[in-house]
Amino acid sequence: MGEVRVPADALYGAQTQRAVENFSVSGIRFPRVFIRALGIVKAAAAEVNTRAGLIPPDIGSAVREAAEEVSEGRWDDHFPLDVFQTGSGTSTHMNANEVIANRAGLILGDALGKSRVHPLDHVNRGQSSNDIIPTAIHIAASLQTRDLLIPSLADLREVLAKRSVELDSVVKTGRTHLMDALPITFGQEISGWVYQVAQAVERIDASLPRLYKLAVGGTAVGTGVNTPANFGRMVCEEVSVRTGIPFTETDGHFAAQSAMDSAAELSGQLKTTASSIIKIANDLRLMNSGPHGGIGEISLPELQPGSSIMPGKVNPVACEAAIMACVQVIADDLAIIVGNSRGEFQLNVMLPLICHNLLQSITLLGNAAQLLGKKALQGFEVNAERVSRALGKNPMLITALTPVVGYDKAAEIVKKASAEARPIRDVAAELTSLSAGELDRLLDPVRMTGQKSG
């Protein structure tokens, strides 16, 4: 293809440079965790190839060391490529091969650009972009889910559980259709959020075993051409040792390279979790609204001034940031689903797109959960007087009288109380023969929540 000029201090080579010049689309690079995953699988492959006698021990050792440095982030500046490139991710795969080969040469004492280590014959032995990029995507997503997302959701659940216990006895007006409904305690309301987050973790955990099946060993089309016996299995074992995650070789190579169903499955769980976090964050925004012209049940922590023109205005910015991140997760899922559908014959040609969106979603969701927990849920305060005043005027308290006085009489009481802006109890005392004690018992908001009155 002719000559190409590569920066003198670059660890990458001609194939990477051509991709730099060809693909200037977004300025978005692959995330750190993906480069980490590439380094891990390359180090594992070098270990297996060296043990099998397929590459010389000195070269194998240098390749393994260089790949480990890549996984640790030492050479991230030498991975300059745009995410939007060849659909197999071959450009970034060759980028890794070139960086590892040149760095391995330096480890062996060779001059930069004069490495005795070949990016294909040594670093890429027994591998293809078509099985290594899907493998690295699975490894990266597994690492990011384990190291960021699951701990963040666990922390969020813990914060919610703590607030649910703290506020279990505080009764408020429940709402359906955004309209006043029967009483509920803050603790009960928050317990619903606790359950949502707990279920999210269960769903994500349930999808991970399929993500742990790796495509390595399939090479170009899934048949495993140019790999020694059990290469995929041994690389997976080595990757498991390096990550502490129980990866195994896929039992369906022809699916693992032509489709990214496991990535799509995980993305679907991320989308569901994002919708749950949006619900929680938006409930907080609504309860905080006003405060004087809105619901004003709670006061969220004041994080920053809310307006460049209205002095003293404070907005629910943590909730808004979390919601935006979760909306992006939902949008990412669409890109992943469409990308997964573009697996023509033996190769999916949307691998970089799927990789970018999946890892972005995991990261955004983990960070959004942390933000919401630390900046909104931990520190919000209940405006007790306002909550109590609204509860006393709640016309839906009449529901507790309906079995005793009948639906029509209950409706008459509600209409009269609303028209005259009077408490339900006072009007019920006029329009029914119920004693004061019976009315107090039946209209006790605490009793309606299923809690014991204090």
Residue 319 carries which side chain, given as an amino acid letter? C
Give catalytic status of residue 356 as yes or no. Answer: no
Which pair of tokens denotes residue 328?
């992006």
Q: Which long-range contacts (CB under 8 A, 24 or more apart) does 245-250 make?
A: 245/139, 245/142, 245/143, 245/146, 245/212, 246/212, 247/138, 247/139, 247/142, 247/212, 247/213, 247/214, 248/212, 248/213, 248/214, 249/213, 249/214, 249/216, 249/217, 250/213, 250/214, 250/215, 250/217, 250/218
Q: Are 261 and 340 in contact (CB under 8 A)?
A: yes
Residue 13 carries which side chain, given as an amino acid letter? G
Q: How far apart are CA 344 and CA 414, in angstroms?
A: 64
Q: Are 250 and 213 in contact (CB under 8 A)?
A: yes
Q: Are 201 and 152 in contact (CB under 8 A)?
A: no
Q: Are 63 and 122 in contact (CB under 8 A)?
A: yes
Q: Are 38 and 73 in contact (CB under 8 A)?
A: no
Nearest to 137 by CA among 344, 366, 362: 362
Question: What is the three-class DSSP state of 244?
Answer: coil
Neighbouring CB atoms inside 10 A of 1's CB total 6
Kindly list the distances between the CA atom of residue 117 and the CA atoms of 64, 110, 392, in Å, as whole numbers in the listed order. 12, 9, 79
Q: How far apart are CA 302 and CA 315, in angstroms?
A: 8
Give catalytic status of residue 177 as yes or no. Answer: yes
Residue 376 carries which side chain, given as an amino acid letter? A
Q: How far apart are CA 141 and CA 133, in angstroms?
A: 12
Residue in 71, 91, 115, 177 annotated catalytic: 177
Q: Are 102 and 11 in contact (CB under 8 A)?
A: yes
Residue in 24, 26, 307, 341 annotated catalytic: 307
Active site residues: 177, 307
